[in-house]
Amino acid sequence: MFNSSFVRYAVSGLGALAASFALVSAAHAQQENTFVAIDPPQATAATDKIEVLEFFQYGCPHCRSMEPLVESWEKKQAADVQLQRVPVAFNAGMAPWQHLYFSLEGMGRLDLQSAVFNAVQTERNPLNSRERVVEWAAKQGLDKSKFEAMYDSFGVGTKVSRANQLIKAYKLESVPTMVVNGSYMTSPALANGYPQTLEVVSSLIEKVRSTKKP
């Protein structure tokens, strides 16, 4: 897992961005199951859907490995499942990553997700400032003025604030982490692997779905 202990290391770019799997929080580590029940459950944004949150970070190598798996998994889900990726900033230095994600989302360009991971982790471009993010976006062929307007928009700012509220509400300590319908949390560390994480998420979706049936 990638957690706050790696933050300064990743943001400053002074060393490798790769991080080894670490233990989840002590409370989670005591669980022998592949998921943790959230007590009390959190309210979800989409009450008519089964909400799945994926907390991720561009500096996290495990999130990068999960990305294509999650993308493929999402395409197979029924209409009652809604996936929302939540970019995580463990400190203010990572806030540009959040603004970048929501700007790409707002412009319908999440196809550039892999390119962002590549920029941060392979090209060692930390993208840790508005200027660096805008410069990078322009090099990807995005209209600079439109991107800047989106980056600075009220809508993106609101989404960043909401993401930070979720991070706090779920007491997030590491990424990648997935939450199903505000009630269950799992991760590669708990599920013992990337594909296994999505298998657990799928089983939890069925668990939630069964409780929704009349």
Q: What are the pLDDT digits (tens) for 115-153?
A: 999 999 999 999 999 999 999 999 999 999 999 999 999
SS3 at position 187: coil
| Share above pLDDT 90 across residues of the chain, in percent, rounded to a whole number | 80
Query: How many other CB atoms are there within 10 angstroms of residue 30's CB atom?
Result: 9
- What is the DSSP track for 40-61? SPPP-S-TTSEEEEEEE-TT-H
For the question of whether the overall pTM of this predicted structure is more than 0.75, the answer is yes
Q: Which two tokens stand for residue 195?
A: 């594909």
- Mean pLDDT across 89-114: 96
Asked whether the beta carbons of 183 and 41 are under 8 A apart, the reply is yes
Question: What average pLDDT does the chain have?
Answer: 88
